[in-house]
Chain A
Amino acid sequence: MTFCFRNLFRRKIRTALCIIGVALAATFVIAVGATTMRYTTVIKEMNVLFNGQVMVVDNKSMVIQAIPIGGGMLPQNYTESKIQKVAGVEKTVPILLVTPIGMGEIIQVVPRNFSIGIPVEDWQLTLGPTLLRGNRGHFPTNESGNEVVVGGSLADEYNLTVGTALLINGYELNATGVLDTKLALLGRSIIMPLELAQKVYDYQREINIIAVKPAAGYSQADLAEAIERNVAYVNALTESDRNDVVQPVLAQVEMWNLGIETVIFAMSLILVMTVTVMSVSERRRDFATLDAIGAPLNFVFRAVLLEASLIGILGGILGVIFGSSAALLMASFYTNIPVAQFIPSILDIVPPLYMAEIFVAVVTVCCVGGIIPAANAARTRIAEVLRAEY
């Protein structure tokens, strides 16, 4: 091991450049991979909000999972009453979801914040088993009051706690709780009673989502079809409809990601192989000497392979550190949320298993890059090399 370390650092600049090259490759792979993985996770988790329900939106809206983008608003009472007449509807929940996402900003998968207006008796529908942080505070109880709960990420960014006053569009709102959730969408949400949301955002008796719970014995698909037949201006999307819109895009993102990883790792392989070939060709006399003094056949092979592996290990460690940092920066850049807020959730952004996978991949690539030069070094013919010296 000492022998290999010393050989590596005999050519300090070359070795350092090679390690940096490998580290940069790993950095790029981790940053891009973790970011796309986070986006796909966020997109997938949006569907958690309307789990088991048909989501009804204006038929001119484009929907990314549960988020309607653009399109029109729905008249609340008229649309709800028409849907309630459809057979198989157990319950309808009108929702106003206000988001800064526009078509030009679509790259920001997690927008800076959302406001969700939902009738107070239907909190559970949106929030699921989400609790309040530290079990402090309470969910708003009065439909026309000024009470709201805020997502943890927003609360951390703006130092919001129970009792903090928020000023939105000239209305003073009172935070009565902070959501304790890992869902990115809820973490960035301000959740308030529907009537309050309609007042604050000036959508009088208008909504943009109706969540419809099918009655027992009715499938989501049948119910969605019946709703669209009876209410001409809406789209009724089942869970699988919502997934179908995004799945091909997500699949393509993953494919591109894999392609980028393959190219980057191939470049690392070539880099390590080139450096190892150079190193081996410069040390032919050393290998011949080792052979002459009776070093076992695989000693040189193992030494060269170990050197390539050390490049991989050092490059991989640096790559994981740089890559995780870059993923944090990218998460901050694409969401406009300060980096400091992401630090506690670094292991959610770059999961340890993903770090380990990339590290193992980098070390493996470097080992593979060292095999051919190591085999060449082990085949060194003593007599030829030593004779050529004179």
Chain B
Amino acid sequence: MMKLRTEDLTRTFRIGSSEITAVDKVTFEVNEPAFVAIVGPSGSGKSTLLSLIGLNDYPTSGKIFIDGADSSHFSAGQRRKMRLRQMGFVFQTFNLLPTLNALENVELPLALAGKPRREQKEKAVGLLELVGLGKRFLHRPKELSMGEMQRVAIARALANDPEMIIADEPTGELDSKTAKEIITLLFDINKKDNRTVIVATHDEKVVDVADATYVIQDGKLRLEK
């Protein structure tokens, strides 16, 4: 399992002449396959923090340690490789590629990882069945409901058996019933597969099931539960 630790993680943005600190000296760690919720209002820095720990962005200062290794020493190629093989991303707006069908969206990370064609298909079919989309393989994203799109996105995130799933407001676009199903799915992924799941959310239902809850306000993170 992946061990994640941040030290005084800070990310500032310059907009015109003013400087905004989206993430302010955040220090936290996840040492076991936990279900971690990060809650906070819009603009509080949740997405920026997830971008940083997902190696999608570079901190202005501070450090991120992954399995004890300082990520600032990672090359761009190493960061990509980690995103491909060790982390899975789930976005609020699903971010499925619109020209590919559900099966192809899930196959994509496997293809990028160089998996053989047959393995790609078998794995993608298995994952789509796991998330309850056994009969919707060949549908394009625009032919799926929002809940179904998010399930495809979760299947895609699981494709390369990552040790950590990073979900940015995964229930933000969904109705409460579908949101509950998605949370259950993420919860199962954490408990049954022993994967760390970090979820940025407004959703109280996520907080209810989370092993640890952090609150982020004006870029500052504190442990709530």
Give A contacts to B, CB under 8 Å.
2-3, 6-7, 10, 285-286, 288-297, 299, 382-383, 386-387, 389-390
Question: Are A293 and B89 within 8 A (Cβ)?
Answer: yes
Question: Are A3 and B99 within 8 A (Cβ)?
Answer: yes
**Bound CA span A383–B169, Å:** 15
For chain B, residues 66 to 90, give those with C-beta under 8 angstroms from any C-beta of chain A.
76-77, 80-85, 89
**Bound CA span A382–B95, Å:** 12
Q: Is B108 an interface residue (CB 8 A)?
A: yes
**Bound CA span A258–B87, Å:** 55
Assess A296 versus B112: contact at CB under 8 Å? Given A386-B91, A387-B48. yes
Question: Are B80 and A382 within 8 A (Cβ)?
Answer: no
On chain A, the residues within 8 Å of B169 by CB distance are: 390
Q: How far is the CB of A179 from chain B (nearest CB, A)?
A: 59
Question: Are A294 and B85 within 8 A (Cβ)?
Answer: yes
- A contacts with B: majority SS: helix
**Bound CA span A389–B76, Å:** 24
Q: How far is the CB of B55 from chain A (nearest CB, A)?
A: 9
Assess A10 versus B89: contact at CB under 8 Å? Given A293-B83, A387-B48, A387-B51. no
Question: Are B80 and A295 within 8 A (Cβ)?
Answer: yes
Q: Is B184 an interface residue (CB 8 A)?
A: no
On chain A, the residues within 8 Å of B195 by CB distance are: none
**Bound CA span A291–B76, Å:** 11
For chain B, residues 159 to 187, give those with C-beta under 8 angstroms from any C-beta of chain A.
169
Question: Are B99 and A10 within 8 A (Cβ)?
Answer: yes
Question: Are B112 and A390 within 8 A (Cβ)?
Answer: no
On chain B, the residues within 8 Å of A2 by CB distance are: 104
| Most chain A beta-carbon neighbours within 10 Å: one of B82, B95, B96, B98 | B95
Question: Are A293 and B108 within 8 A (Cβ)?
Answer: yes
**Bound CA span A389–B92, Å:** 9
Q: Is B47 an interface residue (CB 8 A)?
A: yes
Q: Is B4 an interface residue (CB 8 A)?
A: no
On chain A, the residues within 8 Å of B104 by CB distance are: 2
Mark each residue of chain B from 43 to 68: 1 if its CB lies under 8 Å from any CB of chain A, else 0.
00001100100101100000000000
| Most chain A beta-carbon neighbours within 10 Å: one of B56, B91, B112 | B56
Provide 12 A-B residue pairs closer than 8 Å at the C-beta atoms, listed in order of the A residue.
A6-B100, A286-B98, A291-B56, A293-B109, A293-B112, A294-B82, A294-B85, A294-B112, A296-B77, A296-B80, A383-B51, A390-B42
Q: How far is the CB of B70 from chain A (nearest CB, A)?
A: 20
- CB-nearest residue of chain B to A387: B47
List 8 additional contacts besides A291-B80, A386-B95; criterion CB under 8 Å.
A286-B97, A292-B54, A296-B77, A296-B80, A297-B80, A383-B57, A389-B91, A389-B93
On chain A, the residues within 8 Å of B109 by CB distance are: 293-294
On chain B, the residues within 8 Å of A390 by CB distance are: 42, 47, 92, 169
**Bound CA span A2–B111, Å:** 13
Assess A382 versus B97: contact at CB under 8 Å? Given A294-B112, A295-B112, A296-B112. no
Q: How far is the CB of B21 from chain A (nearest CB, A)?
A: 15
- CB-nearest residue of chain A to B114: A296
- CB-nearest residue of chain A to B160: A294
Question: Are B84 and A386 within 8 A (Cβ)?
Answer: no
Question: Are B76 and A293 within 8 A (Cβ)?
Answer: no
Assess A292 versus B89: contact at CB under 8 Å? Given A3-B99, A6-B100, A382-B56. yes
**Bound CA span A289–B93, Å:** 11
Question: Are A294 and B108 within 8 A (Cβ)?
Answer: no
Q: Is B156 an interface residue (CB 8 A)?
A: yes
**Bound CA span A215–B135, Å:** 93
Q: How far is the CB of A126 from chain B (nearest CB, A)?
A: 65
| Most chain B beta-carbon neighbours within 10 Å: one of A10, A299, A386 | A386
Question: Are B156 and A382 within 8 A (Cβ)?
Answer: no
Q: Considering the complex of A and B, which 8 residue pairs feature the smallest CB-CB distances, nearest first?
A: A294-B84, A383-B57, A6-B99, A294-B83, A289-B95, A383-B51, A382-B56, A294-B80
For chain B, residues 178 to 209, give those with C-beta under 8 angstroms from any C-beta of chain A.
none
Question: Are A299 and B54 within 8 A (Cβ)?
Answer: no
| Most chain B beta-carbon neighbours within 10 Å: one of A3, A291, A383 | A383
Question: Are A293 and B99 within 8 A (Cβ)?
Answer: no
For chain B, residues 95 to 139, give those with C-beta under 8 angstroms from any C-beta of chain A.
95-100, 104, 108-109, 112-113
**Bound CA span A3–B77, Å:** 23
**Bound CA span A293–B47, Å:** 16
**Bound CA span A390–B104, Å:** 26
**Bound CA span A288–B91, Å:** 12
- CB-nearest residue of chain B to A5: B99
Assess A382 versus B57: contact at CB under 8 Å? Given A297-B77, A387-B47. yes
Q: How far is the CB of B157 from chain A (nearest CB, A)?
A: 8
On chain B, the residues within 8 Å of A383 by CB distance are: 48, 51, 56-57
On chain A, the residues within 8 Å of B48 by CB distance are: 383, 387
Assess A382 versus B51: contact at CB under 8 Å? Given A293-B83, A295-B112, A296-B80. yes
Assess A386 versus B47: contact at CB under 8 Å? Given A7-B99, A292-B56. yes
**Bound CA span A290–B47, Å:** 18
On chain A, the residues within 8 Å of B108 by CB distance are: 293
On chain B, the residues within 8 Å of A382 by CB distance are: 51, 56-57
Assess A285 versus B92: contact at CB under 8 Å? Given A293-B112, A294-B85. no
**Bound CA span A390–B91, Å:** 10
On chain A, the residues within 8 Å of B51 by CB distance are: 382-383, 386-387
**Bound CA span A125–B80, Å:** 77
Q: How far is the CB of B198 from chain A (nearest CB, A)?
A: 15
Q: How far is the CB of A96 from chain B (nearest CB, A)?
A: 71
- CB-nearest residue of chain B to A381: B57
**Bound CA span A355–B47, Å:** 54
